[in-house]
Homo-oligomer: A and B are copies of this chain.
Amino acid sequence: MNMEAEALGAIGDHFRRARLAARLTQEQVANLAGISRPRYRDVETGSAAARTTTLINIARALGLEMMLVPQAMVPAIEALLHPETEDDRPAYSPQPESDDDSRPHR
């Protein structure tokens, strides 16, 4: 349950870097995303888990897009995003995730 906080913090950091790179204030991004400044601040500091629609709106305000991709494709996409850097986790990147569970699988 605490690994979720890490994910939120990573996303917040990502947003913050994108915002500063775009030279926007928290208030401007909040307005673009249709939320209040205090709320956007909570998202950026990782102290709140925004709704999916809000996440998408913030991302787009910052020139980003939210995507769902197969875990196996993540490394290839990472390589595409930052060409010659070797290891550079995108923050909210996946844990190995030991996915064992009850699967009757029919």
Contact = CB atoms under 8 A, between A and B. Distances in A.
Interface in A61-102: 61, 63-74, 76-77, 80-81, 90, 92-94, 97, 99, 101-102
| Copy total for this chain | 2
Q: Residue among A28, A52, A71, A77 with the most chain B CB within 10 A? A: A52
Given A56-B7, A80-B80, A101 B66 contact: no
Range class of the A interface residue count: 35 or more
Nearest to A63: B71
Contacts of A51: 49-52
Nearest to A23: B105
Contacts of A92: 56, 66-68
